A and B are shown apart, each in its own frame.
Chain A
Amino acid sequence: MTRVTSWLVGFGRFWYRFIIGDDWTVAASVAIGLMVTGLLNGGQFPAWVVMPLVVIVMLRVSVQRSKRTKGDVGVTRTR
């Protein structure tokens, strides 16, 4: 691998870790939630409901995922 390629890979990895973090499903669900909010905007359905629902669901999902991947100091590791 050339120096430029490895620099590009490192650069991309830094931004991936920086923006996406350790659970990509959080970033993906935020992006999808915002797209749905944008699509619903202007219609009969109150579009502001979408993001709070995404937060409530994704917090539960992400907590469960972190226990499986042992990414955090979770309750399963404190025994």
Chain B
Amino acid sequence: MTAILPVLITAFLASSVEAIEMVTIVVGVGATRGWRSTLLGAAAGFVVLAVIVGVFGLALSAIPIAPLRLIIGALLLVFGLQWLRKGVVRVAARGFAGMQVDANKDTDVWTGKGVDWTAFVLSFKGVLLEGLEVAFIVVSVGATAGQLGVAVASGAAALLVVGAIGAVLSRLVARIPRSFLQLVVGLLLTTFGSFWATEGLGVSWPGGDVAILGLLALYLLTAVINISVERRGAHRGRLTVNLSEVAR
């Protein structure tokens, strides 16, 4: 019993951390770009993950995770920075009062008939990378302690619990104004992207995973400063226009 409990708790908590990152990306992308392609991407990610886990099994820990982190992190960073810029510009332009945008008029919501590949690939990458990390945790913790079954059950339970919480939260997230959501998702993608890409190069972050919170706070501060600079610039522009109209 004493051997089972530490494995159960360690595998569950460590898997939960990765599952939270996975669900954060899927919920954020789904609420911003639309759910159909996002869920298709997530499902495709789980299928590929299942194939990889099925083929490699215990040899999973031999797959090099660093190049994956570097490539996926770099892509998330490029996507995230562009979303963050759009979020900053739109929130600066419309403010918090006028941010509710009609989904049909918002250029970032996919209204076409086909698949929205941006949403598909973003959620696919999030599910595949984080799912692989859950699998690594389960295999390494379970195999080391000789309790693979317990570790697998804990990892699966973590995914189910965090996924269910994400499903409940997604309804609340859908009520958040879209421009603000774009800013938040841009912040999250930029944070995870810079964290993973740097880690993929073999660089250690001070504080390990806690550095994610530090990065998030730093980028949030940067976004807020940019928004206030843009709003001040717009206010100054309006004053100049009003003065020139008075002079005419």
User: B193-214: which have CB < 8 Å to A?
Assistant: 194, 197-198, 201-206, 211
Return the CB mask of A40-77 against B: 1 if under 8 Å, else 0.
01000011101110111011101100110000111111
Asked whether, in the complex, the Cβ of A55 is within 8 Å of the Cβ of B90, the reply is no
| Cβ contact of B81, chosen from A37, A59, A74, cutoff 8 A | A59
Indicate whether A30 reaches chain B with its CB closer than 8 angstroms. yes
| Cβ contact of A52, chosen from B94, B201, B215, cutoff 8 A | B215
Chain A residue nearest to B214 in the complex (CB): A52
Chain B residue nearest to A40 in the complex (CB): B203
- Chain A, interface residues (CB within 8 Å), range: 35 or more
User: In the docked arrangement, what's the CA distance between A76 and B234, Å?
Assistant: 6
Q: Tell me the number of A-to-B contacts counted with CB atoms below 8 Å.
A: 115
Indicate whether B140 reaches chain A with its CB closer than 8 angstroms. no
Indicate whether B88 reaches chain A with its CB closer than 8 angstroms. yes
| Cβ contact of B197, chosen from A22, A34, A60, A78, cutoff 8 A | A34
Indicate whether A31 reaches chain B with its CB closer than 8 angstroms. yes
Q: Given the known A-B contacts A48-B205, A51-B197, are A72 and B81 also in contact in the complex, defined by CB atoms under 8 Å?
A: no
List of A residues within 8 angstroms of B70 by Cβ? 34
Indicate whether A18 reaches chain B with its CB closer than 8 angstroms. yes
List of B residues within 8 angstroms of A72 by Cβ? 85-86, 89-90
| Cβ contact of B78, chosen from A19, A51, A63, A66, cutoff 8 A | A19
Nearest CB of chain A from residue B207's CB, rounded to whole Å: 10
Indicate whether B84 reaches chain A with its CB closer than 8 angstroms. yes
| Cβ contact of B93, chosen from A26, A55, A77, cutoff 8 A | A77
| Cβ contact of A59, chosen from B85, B118, B237, cutoff 8 A | B85
| Cβ contact of A78, chosen from B78, B206, B226, B234, cutoff 8 A | B234
A-B complex: 9 closest residue pairs judged by Cβ atoms: A75-B234, A51-B194, A72-B89, A62-B85, A47-B203, A21-B82, A78-B93, A75-B93, A38-B201
Chain B interfacial positions (CB closer than 8 Å to A): 70, 74-75, 77-79, 81-82, 84-86, 88-90, 92-94, 117-118, 121, 190, 194, 197-198, 201-206, 211, 215, 218-219, 222-223, 226, 230-231, 233-234, 237-238, 241
